[in-house]
Each structure stands twice: as structure tokens, then as C-alpha cells.
Structure 1
């Protein structure tokens, strides 16, 4: 998630396999008629408050990497730096499976290439299995979007959503230049 003030956010929410179906059901129950997915930037403040309340009830554990010093012309570089940090940290949390939100086939290919490089450099644990899914098909992807959305508002001075959800989220700040 790119922010105007030189910040790139990448978030992961940890969901145990035995909780995944319950989380998916609870997230799908939040959809409005005709809505295919939850997406923070598409919601108004009233809806955001509902989403934060629901996410907080799930008591998510997770990691957010905040890449600072971003030059907007080098967004993909910031993404790669945040991805490397995030994947390393997820490995430290004994995560085996990581699901990324699909973007565009060319951009997804860049992510795949980055993972190969990271594994070759032993910069991420070899046991990590990564996959890319459409957010309409995988509701668990909505969790990090909501968390990152709340964090992005907090970075701009609006902490009302972030203050409710941040208790069990590790925030790592890195230089994204």
C-alpha cells in the first residue's frame, strides 16, 4: 500500500489453519449486497468502524512493515524491501504458508522472481510456501488490507481506527530507499 508521504506499507495477518474457515465466514458476513470483497479504501468511515470492530473481535496477530523514505518513482523497490523484511519476520513466527494478493500478471511475476532471489540468498526460510490469489476468492486477504488501511490513516494523523486494532500487531519500520 503506497502512501503519499513517502511510505509503503505491507501487512500480514496470521491465521491458524484451524481458524481459517471461521474467519472467512465472519468476513463474508460483512459484505454488503453486491459487494465482492472488502476493501478499506472503498469504505466510508461508518463502514470502516464496523470493519475494525469485526477485525478486533478476531484478535489478529500480524506484522506490518512500514517502508519510509519512499521515492514514488521507486515504488516497486520499496515493495521488494518491505517484502523481504516481512517474509523474514513471518519465517521467525514459524509461518509456513504465505498468501499474497494478486496484482497484475507482470507485477506478480516480479514478486515471484524476488522470492527466488531471496531463497537463493537464504534471506527467507526455505520452508515458506508462497502463493498469489485474487481477493474476491480469498477473504483472508481482506484482513491485512483493513489493518494496513487503519495504519495508513494513523500515519496521516487519524488514529481512531488504528488505536483499536494495533495491540497484537508488530510494526517494523525500515528504510525503503
Structure 2
């Protein structure tokens, strides 16, 4: 029997290419502490969290190899047609698609990276609408967390960053991490 998973979710945007990327990496409860320890071991001195955008290519290779060793499973939603002035619309469409997908993956908990209170409130309002329309699995428990406090949020950051680079033609990192990650492409116009 497949254990229930927790999904950790983060985003990346390619404004020039009109793409909004939302990655969910699934982690079984029995693996969570081991993955957290492995991720923390990658921190540099004085570094509070891993963040793809802040790393150079040598470190990105190290991060991608470490994530690949964890054999990540999950879903990455790529929203095409992103208008830089309508980023929240793109996020809503990607979140809706992602939450629906979680229903088929034995996910109980979905943990989003906290943004800031106003944007997180928009996410909460979206979830209420989706629940009212029965557009997401009713069993899902959602939360928002600071990535400095939850290393498992670094997984989708790395996955989304690797796919973002692949979308720009550099597939080295994505080829390392992509094994059991399903990519879903949607229109967010």
C-alpha cells in the first residue's frame, strides 16, 4: 500500500518566456527527517536556507545531485501565457491544477512556501473557493511555512529552478532531478 505523502510546494517564474512554474515534491513521512538532514548538510556557513536563485552553477550541480539521490516524486505545473502584470492569476490557475492532481497521489498534507501575509491570504481565499466548488480533494490539509524553518521546501525550489533552466535551454540540472516528476502544462491566460 502506498503511504500518504506530504507535498512541499514552491514556484519559479520566467517572465521573459511567459512561464509560471509550480513544483510539488512528495515526501513520505518515514523519509522526512532523513531528507531534512541531507538538505541541511548542504548549507554553507551562515546560510539559513537553500535557494536556487542564490547559487552558482557548481553549487546548483551539487544541489541537483543531492535531490536526485532522494529520488523525488511529484508534479510540476508549468503555466504558459504568463502576463507579468497578472502573476497572481497564473498562480491561482497553477495552484488549482496542482491541488486537483494531488488527489491522485495519496497526498494528505500540502505545504506551500510562505510568501507574505497579503499573498498568503489570497491563497487562503482561493482554497476556500476551490473547496466550495469541490475542485480539490476534500481530505487535503494545507499550510504555509517559512522555508528557513522547513528544509523540505528547498526540494521544490531546486526542482522548479532546474526546470526553469531547462525551459531556457540548459537541461543539465533538470536531467539530474526529473526522474519521477510529472510535468503538466496548462494555459494561464
Q: 1:22: Cα distance to partner?
A: 0.6
Q: Deviations over 1:130-165 (max 9, x none)?
A: 000000000000000000000000000111111111
1:2 aligns with 2:13: yes
Partner of 1:137: 149
1:83 aligns with 2:83: no
- Following TM superposition, the consecutive aligned residue runs of length 4 or more in structure 1 with deviations greater than 2 angstroms are none
Residues in 1 aligned to 2:124 and 2:108: alpha-carbon distance in whole angstroms: 17
Bigger mean CA offset, 160-169 vs 104-113: 160-169
1:64 pairs, out of 73, 76, 94, with 76
Partner of 1:175: 187
Q: Residue 74 of structure 2 aligns to a residue in which SS?
A: strand
Q: 1:91: Cα distance to partner?
A: 1.5
Q: 1:92: Cα distance to partner?
A: 1.3
Q: Residue 93 of structure 1 aligns to a residue in which SS?
A: coil
Q: Residue 97 of structure 1 aligns to a residue in which SS?
A: strand
Task: Kindly report which structure 2 residues correspond to 1:25-40, keeping only aligned pairs within 5 A, or say none.
Answer: 25-40=37-52
Residues in 2 aligned to 1:2 and 1:165: alpha-carbon distance in whole angstroms: 19
1:101 pairs, out of 113, 116, 120, with 113
CA RMSD of aligned residues (A): 0.5
Q: Residue 107 of structure 2 aligns to a residue in which SS?
A: coil
State the TM-score, normalizing by the size of structure 2.
Answer: 0.93
Q: 1:29: Cα distance to partner?
A: 0.5
Q: How many residues align?
A: 177
Q: Which structure is higher in helix share?
A: 1
Q: Which structure is higher in strand share?
A: 2
1:15 aligns with 2:27: yes
